[in-house]
Amino acid sequence: MRDKTDYIIVEFSKAIFIYGLVAMSFIGLGFYSFVTLEHEGHWLTGMNNQIVWGLPHVFAIFLIIAASGVLNIASISSVFNIKIYKPLGRLSALLAISLLTGGLIVLVLDLGRPDRLIVAMTTFNFKSIFAWNVFLYSGFMAVVALYLWMMFEARYNKFVGKVGTFAFAWRVTLTTGTGSIFAFLVAKEAYNGALLAPLFIALSLLVGTAFFYKILFWMDRGLGIPLGSEIIKRFRKLLIYFIFTVFYITILSHLTNLYVTKNHGYEFFLLFSGNIYTFLFWGCQMIIGTLFPLLILYNKKLSKSASGLLYASILVLFGGFSMLYVIIISGQAFPLDLFPGYIERSSFFDGVEATYVPSIYEFMLGLGGVGIAAAIYLFAIMVLDFTPRSLDNAATAMANVPEPVTEEQLEEEKESQEEVVDEKSSVPPDQKTTEELETEEKNKSADEGKPAEE
Site residues for another protein per CB under 8 A: 40-43, 48-50, 52-53, 111-114, 116-117, 119-120, 123-125, 127-131, 134, 181, 184-188, 332, 336, 338-339, 341-350, 355
The half-sphere exposure of 262 on its side-chain side, counting CA atoms within 13 A, is: 10
Residue nearer to another protein on the CB measure, 187 or 446: 187
Residue nearer to another protein on the CB measure, 128 or 273: 128
Cβ 177 to another protein shortest distance, Å: 12
Q: Look at the alpha carbons of 64, 65, 66, 70 in this order and tell me if their dihedral is positive or negative.
A: positive
- Environment class of residue 41 by beta-carbon count within 10 Å: exposed (0-12), middle (13-18) or buried (19+)? exposed
Residue nearer to another protein on the CB measure, 166 or 349: 349
Cβ 133 to another protein shortest distance, Å: 8
Cβ 109 to another protein shortest distance, Å: 11
Residue nearer to another protein on the CB measure, 48 or 433: 48
Cβ 186 to another protein shortest distance, Å: 6
Residue nearer to another protein on the CB measure, 245 or 263: 263
Residue nearer to another protein on the CB measure, 157 or 257: 257
Cβ 379 to another protein shortest distance, Å: 24
Cβ 289 to another protein shortest distance, Å: 25
- DSSP H helices, 185-340, are 196-218, 229-259, 264-271, 276-279, 292-298, 306-325, 331-333
Residue nearer to another protein on the CB measure, 121 or 295: 121
Task: Give the whole-angstrom CA distance, residue 104 versus residue 107.
Answer: 5
User: What are the φ/ψ torsions at residue 71 (nearest 5 degrees)?
Assistant: -65, -20
Whether 296 and 312 have beta carbons less than 8 Å apart is answered as: yes
Cβ 36 to another protein shortest distance, Å: 13
Contact partners, residue 244, CB within 8 Å, separation at least 6: none
Residue nearer to another protein on the CB measure, 332 or 400: 332
Residue nearer to another protein on the CB measure, 361 or 386: 361
Query: Measured at the alpha carbon of residue 246, what is the angle toward residues 243 and 248, in degrees to the nearest 5?
Result: 105
Cβ 30 to another protein shortest distance, Å: 18
100 closest CA partner among 194, 178, 191, 209: 178
Cβ 434 to another protein shortest distance, Å: 51
Task: Give the whole-angstrom CA distance, residue 426 versus residue 160.
Answer: 15
Strand partners, 234: none
216 closest CA partner among 381, 368, 328, 57: 381
CB neighbourhood size of 404 (10 A): 6
Q: Buried b / exposed e across 359-393, counting CB within 10 Å, b at 16+?
A: bebbbbbbbbbbbbbbbbbbebbbeeebbbebbbb
Cβ 250 to another protein shortest distance, Å: 22
Residue nearer to another protein on the CB measure, 87 or 179: 179
Cβ 371 to another protein shortest distance, Å: 23
Residue nearer to another protein on the CB measure, 343 or 383: 343
Whether 245 and 206 have beta carbons less than 8 Å apart is answered as: yes
Task: Give the whole-angstrom CA distance, residue 24 versus residue 37.
Answer: 20
CB neighbourhood size of 42 (10 A): 18
Radius of gyration of the chain (CA): 24
Contact partners, residue 294, CB within 8 Å, separation at least 6: 240, 243
Residue nearer to another protein on the CB measure, 186 or 410: 186
Amino acid at 260: V
Cβ 353 to another protein shortest distance, Å: 13
226 closest CA partner among 426, 41, 395: 395
